[in-house]
Amino acid sequence: LYTTYRMFDNGYYSPEAAGIMGAADMLSPFYSPLLPFNFNVNIPGLGVKHVSPAIYILIFPLAFRMTCYYYRKAYYRAIFADPLACAVGEPGANSRMNYSGERKFPFVLLNLHRYAFYAAAVFIVLLGYDTYKAFTFTIPDKGFGVSVGSLIFLINWVLLTAYTFGCHSWRHLIGGKVDCYSCSALSRTRYGLWQKVSYLNNRHALYAWCSMISVGLTDVYVNLVSRGIITDFRLF
C-alpha cells in the first residue's frame, strides 16, 4: 500500500530536489534512477491522472520479488493454500482445483524469474551508486560526510545485495551444469563462488524480509527529510 502511494506521489524523493539544506545527497530507492518520463493521462471515468516515472522503475524490483522462489512458496502456501505442503490435501474450495504447478498461464510466467534477476542485478549497481552519493553533501557544505541517512542507505544496499545474490537463479548460473568441480581452475573457482552464494541462499527468506522492509523504510526516511518533518543528522 505504501509503495503504491509513493508510486503516484512523485515528490519528496530527494532532499536536494525539495530544497532541504544540510542533508546527505539521497535519492529514494523507489525513484532511482531518475527518469524524465513524467506525464498525465486521461483515463475515461477517472479523469486526468498523473503518471509517475516510479511506475516504470518499480516494475523490475516487483517482478523480481513476485517471481522469487521464496515468495512463491510463501504465497502459494500462506495465501492460495495451493498446496499447503507436499502431499497435503488442499482445503475448501481449493480441493476441487488441480494443482498444476507453474505449467499454465498465468503462473507459467513465474519461470521468467532469471530475467527478472538480470534486471535486479542492474538495480544493485544503480543503488550502489546512490549509496555512494548518500555519503556526500551538496548544500550548503559540499563533499564527503556521514549522516544517519548515509548509514540507512548503506544498510539497505547491503541487505538488497544479500537478497539479490542469494537468488536461486544466480546460484544455478554460478554453480549449475558442472559435472566436476575439481577438474579445472575455472570449475574450482565456480565451486568457491557457489559456496558463497549458497551461504546467502541459505538465508534467502531472512534477507527477503529484511530488504523488503529496509527499502520501504529508506524511502520513508527520504520522504520525511524531504518534507522537512525530520532532520538528516550529520555525524561528521
Binding stretches for ligand FES (CB under 6 A): 68-70, 113, 117, 167-169, 204
CB 162 within 8 A of CB 203: yes
| Minimal distance, residue 70 CB to ligand FES, in Å | 5
| Minimal distance, residue 83 CB to ligand FES, in Å | 19
| Minimal distance, residue 150 CB to ligand FES, in Å | 27
Q: Which is nearer to ligand FES, 70 or 221 (CB)?
A: 70
Longest Cα–Cα distance of the chain, Å, equals: 66
| Minimal distance, residue 45 CB to ligand FES, in Å | 37
Q: Which is nearer to ligand FES, 32 or 67 (CB)?
A: 67
> DSSP states of 180-229 as a string?
-TTSSHHHHHHHHHHHHHHHHHHTHHHHHHHHHHHHHHHHHHHHHHHTTS
CB 68 within 8 A of CB 208: yes
The residues near 33 (Cβ < 8 Å, ≥ 6 apart) are: 57, 126
Question: What span, in angstroms and rounded, lies between the C-alpha atoms of 213 and 154?
Answer: 14
Q: Which is nearer to ligand FES, 77 or 168 (CB)?
A: 168
